[in-house]
Amino acid sequence: MPQTKSSAENVATRGGDGKALNPRDRRADPRVMRPIFAVALAVALLGGAVDARHAFSRPGTPRHHGFALALDRVAEEISGRRDVSVRCDTTADPSILGSVTFYGASPGREALLAPPVCSMLHRLWEGRRPSLACTELGHGQCGQEVLELAWAASALAHESYHLGGVRNEAAAECYGLQSTARVARRLYAPPAYAARLGTYTFWNVRPPVDYGYFSPECRDGGTLDLHPASSVWP
Protein backbone atom coordinates (compact mmCIF):
# COMPACT_ATOMS: atom_id res chain seq x y z
CA MET A 1 0.00 0.00 0.00
CA PRO A 2 1.49 3.38 -0.97
CA GLN A 3 0.59 5.04 2.34
CA THR A 4 2.23 2.29 4.37
CA LYS A 5 5.38 2.45 2.24
CA SER A 6 5.50 6.24 2.53
CA SER A 7 5.10 6.05 6.31
CA ALA A 8 7.88 3.51 6.59
CA GLU A 9 10.17 5.69 4.48
CA ASN A 10 9.42 8.75 6.57
CA VAL A 11 10.22 6.91 9.79
CA ALA A 12 13.40 5.42 8.38
CA THR A 13 14.79 8.81 7.34
CA ARG A 14 14.00 10.80 10.49
CA GLY A 15 15.32 10.68 13.99
CA GLY A 16 13.35 10.32 17.16
CA ASP A 17 13.11 14.11 17.60
CA GLY A 18 11.59 14.63 14.16
CA LYS A 19 14.71 16.29 12.69
CA ALA A 20 16.18 15.00 9.47
CA LEU A 21 19.17 12.74 9.91
CA ASN A 22 22.45 13.92 8.43
CA PRO A 23 23.32 11.50 5.60
CA ARG A 24 26.99 12.45 5.93
CA ASP A 25 27.16 11.49 9.60
CA ARG A 26 28.30 7.85 9.65
CA ARG A 27 28.35 7.75 13.45
CA ALA A 28 24.61 7.45 13.91
CA ASP A 29 23.57 6.93 17.53
CA PRO A 30 22.57 3.24 17.87
CA ARG A 31 20.14 4.20 20.63
CA VAL A 32 18.23 6.19 18.00
CA MET A 33 18.66 3.80 15.10
CA ARG A 34 17.41 0.67 16.88
CA PRO A 35 13.94 2.10 17.75
CA ILE A 36 13.67 3.59 14.26
CA PHE A 37 14.51 0.26 12.65
CA ALA A 38 12.02 -1.54 14.88
CA VAL A 39 9.22 0.89 13.99
CA ALA A 40 10.03 0.70 10.27
CA LEU A 41 10.07 -3.09 10.36
CA ALA A 42 6.74 -3.23 12.20
CA VAL A 43 5.14 -0.84 9.72
CA ALA A 44 6.51 -2.79 6.74
CA LEU A 45 5.23 -6.09 8.14
CA LEU A 46 1.83 -4.58 8.83
CA GLY A 47 1.68 -3.20 5.32
CA GLY A 48 2.57 -6.61 3.90
CA ALA A 49 -0.16 -8.25 5.96
CA VAL A 50 -2.74 -5.74 4.74
CA ASP A 51 -1.64 -6.20 1.11
CA ALA A 52 -1.83 -9.98 1.48
CA ARG A 53 -5.33 -9.76 2.96
CA HIS A 54 -6.49 -7.61 0.05
CA ALA A 55 -4.91 -9.97 -2.45
CA PHE A 56 -6.86 -12.92 -1.04
CA SER A 57 -10.11 -10.96 -0.86
CA ARG A 58 -9.99 -9.83 -4.49
CA PRO A 59 -9.55 -12.83 -6.79
CA GLY A 60 -7.99 -12.09 -10.16
CA THR A 61 -9.48 -12.69 -13.55
CA PRO A 62 -9.77 -16.45 -14.22
CA ARG A 63 -7.50 -17.96 -16.85
CA HIS A 64 -9.68 -19.13 -19.71
CA HIS A 65 -8.86 -20.96 -22.93
CA GLY A 66 -10.54 -21.60 -26.26
CA PHE A 67 -14.13 -20.45 -26.47
CA ALA A 68 -14.19 -19.03 -22.94
CA LEU A 69 -11.13 -16.94 -23.74
CA ALA A 70 -12.80 -15.69 -26.93
CA LEU A 71 -15.75 -14.45 -24.87
CA ASP A 72 -13.37 -12.72 -22.47
CA ARG A 73 -11.61 -11.00 -25.36
CA VAL A 74 -14.90 -9.64 -26.67
CA ALA A 75 -15.82 -8.31 -23.24
CA GLU A 76 -12.40 -6.74 -22.81
CA GLU A 77 -12.50 -5.02 -26.19
CA ILE A 78 -15.99 -3.58 -25.81
CA SER A 79 -15.67 -2.62 -22.14
CA GLY A 80 -12.20 -1.17 -22.52
CA ARG A 81 -11.02 -3.15 -19.48
CA ARG A 82 -8.40 -5.87 -19.08
CA ASP A 83 -9.68 -7.28 -15.79
CA VAL A 84 -13.04 -8.63 -16.93
CA SER A 85 -14.29 -12.10 -17.81
CA VAL A 86 -17.42 -13.89 -18.99
CA ARG A 87 -18.97 -16.86 -17.19
CA CYS A 88 -21.61 -19.16 -18.64
CA ASP A 89 -24.01 -20.25 -15.93
CA THR A 90 -27.64 -20.23 -14.88
CA THR A 91 -29.10 -16.76 -14.42
CA ALA A 92 -31.59 -15.71 -11.75
CA ASP A 93 -34.52 -16.27 -14.12
CA PRO A 94 -34.83 -18.24 -17.39
CA SER A 95 -35.93 -15.05 -19.14
CA ILE A 96 -32.67 -13.29 -18.21
CA LEU A 97 -30.01 -13.69 -20.88
CA GLY A 98 -27.18 -12.11 -18.92
CA SER A 99 -26.24 -9.88 -16.04
CA VAL A 100 -23.47 -7.76 -14.54
CA THR A 101 -23.37 -6.80 -10.87
CA PHE A 102 -22.75 -3.17 -9.99
CA TYR A 103 -21.20 -2.08 -6.70
CA GLY A 104 -22.50 1.42 -6.29
CA ALA A 105 -21.60 3.16 -9.53
CA SER A 106 -18.84 0.67 -10.38
CA PRO A 107 -19.40 -2.54 -12.38
CA GLY A 108 -17.98 -5.84 -11.27
CA ARG A 109 -15.40 -7.83 -13.19
CA GLU A 110 -17.65 -10.60 -14.47
CA ALA A 111 -20.52 -10.88 -16.92
CA LEU A 112 -22.86 -13.82 -16.49
CA LEU A 113 -24.44 -15.32 -19.61
CA ALA A 114 -27.24 -17.89 -19.65
CA PRO A 115 -26.36 -21.37 -21.02
CA PRO A 116 -28.57 -21.02 -24.16
CA VAL A 117 -26.77 -17.79 -25.01
CA CYS A 118 -23.37 -19.42 -24.62
CA SER A 119 -24.50 -22.44 -26.62
CA MET A 120 -25.43 -20.28 -29.63
CA LEU A 121 -22.22 -18.25 -29.36
CA HIS A 122 -20.20 -21.47 -29.13
CA ARG A 123 -21.73 -22.71 -32.37
CA LEU A 124 -20.86 -19.41 -34.01
CA TRP A 125 -17.29 -19.66 -32.72
CA GLU A 126 -17.01 -23.21 -34.08
CA GLY A 127 -18.19 -22.11 -37.52
CA ARG A 128 -21.57 -23.85 -37.31
CA ARG A 129 -23.48 -20.77 -38.38
CA PRO A 130 -27.11 -20.82 -39.50
CA SER A 131 -27.80 -19.52 -42.98
CA LEU A 132 -28.85 -15.88 -43.18
CA ALA A 133 -30.45 -16.23 -46.61
CA CYS A 134 -33.75 -15.59 -44.86
CA THR A 135 -32.67 -12.01 -44.17
CA GLU A 136 -32.70 -11.18 -47.88
CA LEU A 137 -35.71 -9.42 -49.33
CA GLY A 138 -38.46 -11.82 -50.32
CA HIS A 139 -37.10 -14.82 -48.45
CA GLY A 140 -39.70 -14.79 -45.70
CA GLN A 141 -39.26 -14.92 -41.97
CA CYS A 142 -36.11 -16.33 -40.39
CA GLY A 143 -36.26 -19.41 -38.22
CA GLN A 144 -35.74 -19.71 -34.49
CA GLU A 145 -32.04 -20.52 -34.81
CA VAL A 146 -31.25 -17.21 -36.50
CA LEU A 147 -33.33 -15.30 -33.98
CA GLU A 148 -31.59 -17.02 -31.06
CA LEU A 149 -28.16 -16.22 -32.54
CA ALA A 150 -29.17 -12.58 -32.88
CA TRP A 151 -30.30 -12.43 -29.27
CA ALA A 152 -27.12 -14.20 -28.08
CA ALA A 153 -24.67 -11.94 -29.92
CA SER A 154 -26.44 -8.77 -28.84
CA ALA A 155 -26.62 -10.06 -25.24
CA LEU A 156 -22.83 -10.48 -25.06
CA ALA A 157 -22.38 -6.97 -26.44
CA HIS A 158 -24.99 -5.57 -24.02
CA GLU A 159 -23.34 -7.08 -20.95
CA SER A 160 -19.90 -6.00 -22.14
CA TYR A 161 -21.06 -2.38 -22.16
CA HIS A 162 -22.30 -2.87 -18.61
CA LEU A 163 -18.78 -4.04 -17.70
CA GLY A 164 -17.54 -0.81 -19.23
CA GLY A 165 -19.63 1.20 -16.79
CA VAL A 166 -22.80 1.79 -18.81
CA ARG A 167 -25.51 1.20 -16.22
CA ASN A 168 -28.53 2.57 -18.08
CA GLU A 169 -30.32 -0.36 -19.72
CA ALA A 170 -31.59 1.58 -22.73
CA ALA A 171 -28.08 2.84 -23.50
CA ALA A 172 -26.48 -0.60 -23.02
CA GLU A 173 -29.16 -2.16 -25.24
CA CYS A 174 -28.70 0.39 -28.00
CA TYR A 175 -24.93 0.12 -27.91
CA GLY A 176 -25.20 -3.66 -27.86
CA LEU A 177 -27.48 -3.74 -30.90
CA GLN A 178 -25.02 -1.57 -32.78
CA SER A 179 -22.16 -3.91 -31.80
CA THR A 180 -23.69 -7.27 -32.72
CA ALA A 181 -21.69 -7.44 -35.94
CA ARG A 182 -18.53 -6.68 -33.99
CA VAL A 183 -19.21 -9.59 -31.64
CA ALA A 184 -19.85 -11.94 -34.57
CA ARG A 185 -16.58 -10.93 -36.24
CA ARG A 186 -14.61 -11.53 -33.04
CA LEU A 187 -16.14 -15.00 -32.87
CA TYR A 188 -14.82 -15.73 -36.36
CA ALA A 189 -17.87 -15.01 -38.49
CA PRO A 190 -16.99 -13.70 -41.98
CA PRO A 191 -17.35 -9.90 -42.24
CA ALA A 192 -20.29 -10.06 -44.66
CA TYR A 193 -22.10 -12.57 -42.46
CA ALA A 194 -21.44 -10.48 -39.35
CA ALA A 195 -22.72 -7.32 -41.02
CA ARG A 196 -25.91 -9.04 -42.16
CA LEU A 197 -26.47 -10.48 -38.69
CA GLY A 198 -25.97 -7.05 -37.17
CA THR A 199 -28.57 -5.46 -39.44
CA TYR A 200 -31.05 -8.26 -38.87
CA THR A 201 -30.54 -8.07 -35.11
CA PHE A 202 -31.19 -4.35 -34.89
CA TRP A 203 -34.48 -4.54 -36.77
CA ASN A 204 -35.75 -7.79 -35.29
CA VAL A 205 -34.46 -8.01 -31.71
CA ARG A 206 -36.45 -5.16 -30.28
CA PRO A 207 -36.23 -4.47 -26.55
CA PRO A 208 -39.45 -4.18 -24.53
CA VAL A 209 -40.41 -0.52 -24.16
CA ASP A 210 -42.05 -0.97 -20.76
CA TYR A 211 -38.91 -2.41 -19.13
CA GLY A 212 -36.65 0.56 -19.80
CA TYR A 213 -34.62 -1.07 -22.56
CA PHE A 214 -35.78 1.23 -25.34
CA SER A 215 -34.81 4.81 -26.13
CA PRO A 216 -36.00 6.99 -29.02
CA GLU A 217 -32.40 8.20 -29.24
CA CYS A 218 -31.33 4.78 -30.49
CA ARG A 219 -31.26 5.86 -34.13
CA ASP A 220 -28.92 7.16 -36.79
CA GLY A 221 -27.68 10.51 -35.53
CA GLY A 222 -29.30 10.09 -32.10
CA THR A 223 -27.49 10.68 -28.84
CA LEU A 224 -26.89 6.93 -28.50
CA ASP A 225 -25.34 6.59 -31.98
CA LEU A 226 -21.88 5.12 -31.45
CA HIS A 227 -20.69 6.57 -34.76
CA PRO A 228 -22.52 9.86 -35.26
CA ALA A 229 -20.17 10.98 -38.02
CA SER A 230 -21.09 7.96 -40.14
CA SER A 231 -24.30 7.53 -42.13
CA VAL A 232 -24.05 3.73 -41.82
CA TRP A 233 -26.67 2.34 -39.45
CA PRO A 234 -26.57 0.32 -37.34
Assessment of whether the complete model's pTM goes beyond 0.85: no
Distance between CA atoms of residues 74 and 72, nearest Å: 5
Beta strand 98-103 pairing with 106-113? antiparallel
User: Per DSSP, what are the bridge partners of residue 111?
Assistant: 86, 100
Name every residue whose Cβ is closer than 8 Å to that of residue 80 and which is 6 or more positions away in sequence.
164
Q: What is the pLDDT of residue 140?
A: 77
More confident residue, 136 or 186: 186
In this predicted model, what pLDDT tens digit does every residue of 70-82 receive, in sequence order? 999 999 999 999 9
In this predicted model, what pLDDT tens digit does every residue of 194-233 receive, in sequence order? 999 999 999 998 777 768 999 999 999 999 999 999 988 9
Q: How confident is the model at residue 174 (pLDDT cuts 50, 70, 90)?
A: very high
* Region 4-33 average pLDDT: 33
Domain boundaries, the chain: 2-57, 66-211
In this predicted model, what pLDDT tens digit does every residue of 29-46 receive, in sequence order? 333 333 433 333 343 433
pLDDT at 23 over 60: no
- Of 5-19, 106-120, 171-185, minimum mean pLDDT range: 5-19
Residue 129: Cβ within 10 Å count:
20
pLDDT at 187 over 90: yes
